[in-house]
């Protein structure tokens, strides 16, 4: 079942506000777009993967790039 917009906003808010991830506007937009058609379990797994991208050593910009690369249909994955 595709993700209701309010559930996706809760995920983004949790990552940004509760966990303190500096997602940035580009990543937030990409997360909204990517999670829309996903089912709840896949959204949860993707949320965990995005969070893990910020746990890896590196800068915020590097974490954002890693997170973008995880998202289905991300522009960063275009050849």
Rg, Å, the chain Cα set: 12
pLDDT tens digits for range 27-55: 999 999 999 999 999 999 999 999 999 99
- Output the pTM of the full model: 0.86
pLDDT tens digits for range 62-77: 999 999 999 987 655 5
What is the CB neighbour count within 10 angstroms for residue 35?
26
Q: Rounded CA gap, 50 and 30, in Å?
A: 11
């Amino acid at each position: 079942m595709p993700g209701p917009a309010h559930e996706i906003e809760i995920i983004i808010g949790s990552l940004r506000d509760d966990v303190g991830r500096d997602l940035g506007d580009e990543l937030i937009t990409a997360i909204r777009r990517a999670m829309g058609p996903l089912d709840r379990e896949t959204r949860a797994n993707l949320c965990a993967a995005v969070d893990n991208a910020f746990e890896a050593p590196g800068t915020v910009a590097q974490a954002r790039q890693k997170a973008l690369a995880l998202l289905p249909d991300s522009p960063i994955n275009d050849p």
